[in-house]
Structure 1
Amino acid sequence: MKNIIFIHKKIKNKGDSMKNIKKAIFAGGCFWCMVKPFFKYDGVLDVIVGYTGGEVKNPSYEQVCNGGTGHYEAVEITYDEDIITYEELVDTFFKSIDPTDNEGQFFDKGESYKTVIFYSDEVQKDIAIKYKENLEKSNRFDKPIATAIKPAKVFYKAEDYHQGYYIKNPLRYKAYYKGSGREHFLESVWRTSKK
């Protein structure tokens, strides 16, 4: 019997080629709200929440929230490049945030809630820069695009109770998603009901 890895309801045989399995890292404010937008796509194998961008090793949620670690709340997406492209992930990321907020996201303010695309190679960097430039040129917003583009650093997985929060705590998640202002913004600006 073959060894099988279960990854987000997809099955990969260990013998299969893994050369097109890639990682994408995005910081989009509260990481609870940044998981669900990606999970619905074929080719997305896993989405975990965690912390990245700082210098403190293995930071806790409390440390990151209190500031001073340099970390952002972020998601690390494992995806199959043969099924979904990095461009599609970048598009989904931007359509899940307010890219003009340079203070954080919605009612979460502070360094750890700012938006960042963390690229792992020059291809990802070029795609992110081009998308950001095109968004600026589109005149969709009357303020500059504040989302930063930075090289990836070590990604630290967050505590288990944060993983899949929208599934484990659907009522609290929905209340937070709506109460924070994210839902209204996404529906009015991006004209989406994706939650």
Structure 2
Amino acid sequence: MAKNLATFAGGCFWCMVKPFDRYDGVTSVVSGYTGGDVENPSYELVCTNTTGHREAVQISYDESEISYSELLDVFWRQIDPTDSGGQFFDRGESYETAIYYHTEEQRLLAEKSKVALEASEKFDKPIATEILPAKLFYEAEEGHQNYYLKNPTHYNRYATGSGRVQFKLNKWGE
């Protein structure tokens, strides 16, 4: 079984686990922080928007069951890729979107998917999501892992209240 990594920053990491968790071939989805230079950041520190880190998920997957391109498609449908200042009501650098590539092939696939999304004219503003080389990924505190399973009521209230659920419904019918 071939294991690979995909790393995506899509705003609040609580809302980025569940969409990937349901796919065959995805073996784990870990919430964490990446992109900055501060070692061993905490949630509180990342939320200050001074570390360069973004909330992100790191996905382990078996590419014989699900491709990186399929994961990219899932990612794009979870975010507002035109928002350069965060996601929904979460603002600041720690909530900005990015695709962190681990290989040259991932970089090329990510760029191709971004161009295709822009060409689709689904959005009337430019795609702001960055495509960046993967950096060290720091696992978030245990309380943030699989939040949608541990705190389903709060998770659902947050996902709806933030505007994410309505946005996905309006843009993708999901």
Would you say same fold, with TM above 0.5?
Answer: yes
2:124 to 135, 142, 160: 142
Higher relative contact order (CA 8 A, sep 6+): 2
Cα RMSD, aligned residues only: 0.5
Aligned twin of 1:122: 104
Aligned twin of 1:86: 68
TM-score by length of 1: 0.88
- Give distance in 1, aligned partners of 2:29 and 2:106: 18
The answer for unaligned runs of 5 or more in structure 2 is none
The alpha carbon displacement at 1:125 in A equals: 0.2
Larger Rg: 1
Aligned twin of 1:56: 38
Q: Deviations over 1:121-175 (max 9, x none)?
A: 1000000000000111111110000100000000000000000100000000000
Indicate the percent of aligned positions where both proteins have the same amino acid. Answer: 60
For the residue of structure 1 that corresponds to 2:118, the secondary structure is helix
Q: Deviations over 1:25-73 (max 9, x none)?
A: 0000000000000011000000000000000000000000012110000
The alpha carbon displacement at 1:180 in A equals: 0.1
2:59 to 77, 81, 101: 77
- Give distance in 1, aligned partners of 2:60 and 2:82: 27
For the residue of structure 2 that corresponds to 1:66, the secondary structure is coil
Equivalences, count: 174
- Give distance in 2, aligned partners of 1:38 and 1:83: 13
Q: Deviations over 1:5-31 (max 9, x none)?
A: xxxxxxxxxxxxx5x100000000000
The answer for unaligned runs of 5 or more in structure 1 is 1-17
Q: Which letter maps to 2:126? A: P
TM-score by length of 2: 0.99
Structure 1 moving runs of 4+ over 3 Å: none
Q: Deviations over 1:77-128 (max 9, x none)?
A: 0000110000000000000111111110000010010000000010000000
